[in-house]
Amino acid sequence: MDKIKNFFKRTLSVLKDFGYSLLKGIKKIFSNKKTVTGAVIIVIYVLIAIFGPLIFPYSTETNLKDKYLSPSLAHPFGTDWLGRDVFRQVIDGTGNVLEIAFYSALITVVVGTVFGIVSGYIGGWVDRVIMSVTNIFLSIPSFPVYLLLAALVVIETPISLALMISIFSWAGLCRAIRVQVMSLKERDFIQICKVMHMSKAHIIFKELLPNVFSYIAINFVMAMRNAIVASVGIMLVGLAAYDPTNWGAIMNAARTKGLVNPNNVRILLYPLVAIVIFQVATLMLANGLDETLNPRLKVM
């Protein structure tokens, strides 16, 4: 009986400690105004992406008689050349854009971190091979390759588009992580791990990774930002127009229908503003995280 009691007591105290430190960490992170503002805006975007289409369902139905309507209560952003509601289009596209950004950032960060750590920690010929590969990816101009890829494969899911974007974004992160790992591995606390015969897995996951974690978190946000620019760009030039409600696709449609028509210019502006606000939010979040997590920027 006592044993069980003790067990519960210990578990409780461990949980309490963990919760406390978690709370403290969260409190610290959100003590920065930029971080809070950025995070709130991003959360709003996510909420719109999840619940928006449920409240304002979008239909592909065309209604030529209602084309190019000015903004009104029924159509807050007006309608496009096929009489479709632009407001509902933009809301429906949010999820798609966020999905692409999230997947792309995830792929970038995972691939970049894994190769960066391997390259920096192991060194030698492994490092040389990985570095030459990143050099190739960093020196090839990305857009012609997108053109080529778009011609070769059919892009029809957010993941495939995210993959395409990540091809060119992981290399930069990989190099940055590598440099950090290289300097960390010469530090005294890693040297002592070697003297104490700790396993490589322990050194990498328990000693090195936590030290670059804040850097990875900041880069995740930045990778998301880059992915949105890239995905909208790709859609805008019509390289992967698989989803008509993607913001890039909306802009592309408006563009191809001729910007002489002021209605098209207006339609073009809505997704553009949505992108700009999201960009600002991600930048604020990244800068805010950098300020709180990066010890070199810490002020008294």
Partner 1 sequence: MDRSPLMRLENINMVFKKPGSLLKDRNIHVLKDINLDIYEGEIVAIVGESGCGKTTLGKIITGLIRPTSGNVYFNGNKVSGVFSKDISSYNQVQFIQQDSYAALNPVRTIYQSLYAPIKTSNRKLKTKEIDDKINELMALVGLLPAEQYLSKYPHQLSGGQRQRILMARAISLNPRLIVADEPVSMIDVSLRLSLLNLMKELNKKLNMSFVYISHDLSTTRYIARNGRVCVMYLGEIVEMGNIGDVIETPRHPYTRALIQAVPVPDPEYHGNDDLPLKSMQLGTLEDRGDGCSFIERCLYSCDKCKQKIEHVTTDTAQVLCCNLENVPKQSVYSLKGKKK
Residues that bind partner 1 (CB under 8 A): 17, 187-189, 191-192, 194-199, 202, 206-207, 210-211, 213
Q: Nearest 5 degrees, angle CA 236-CA 142-CA 126?
A: 145
Helices and strands (H, E) in the chain, number of each type: 12, 0
| Residue 295: CB minimum distance to partner 1, A | 8
Pick 99 or 207: Cβ nearer partner 1: 207
Pick 196 or 260: Cβ nearer partner 1: 196
Handedness of CA 285, 204, 183, 122 (dihedral sign): negative
Pick 13 or 261: Cβ nearer partner 1: 13
Q: Tokens 């030529």 — which residue?
A: 64
Whole-angstrom distance between the N-terminal and C-terminal Cα of the chain?
Answer: 51
Pick 8 or 213: Cβ nearer partner 1: 213
Pick 33 or 206: Cβ nearer partner 1: 206
| Residue 105: CB minimum distance to partner 1, A | 23
Pick 131 or 198: Cβ nearer partner 1: 198
| Residue 199: CB minimum distance to partner 1, A | 7
Pick 47 or 192: Cβ nearer partner 1: 192
> Taking a C-beta distance cutoff of 8 angstroms, is the pair 150, 240 a contact?
yes
- 76-82, Cβ contacts within 8 angstroms, sequence gap of 24 or more: 77/266, 77/267, 77/270, 78/263, 78/266, 78/267, 80/250, 80/253, 80/254, 80/257, 80/263, 80/267, 81/253, 81/257, 81/264
| Residue 196: CB minimum distance to partner 1, A | 4
Residue 217: alpha-carbon gap to chain centroid: 10
| Residue 12: CB minimum distance to partner 1, A | 16
| Residue 211: CB minimum distance to partner 1, A | 6
| Residue 27: CB minimum distance to partner 1, A | 16
- Round to whole Å and give the CA distance between 16 and 29: 20
Nearest Cα to Cα of residue 86 among 286, 253, 236? 253
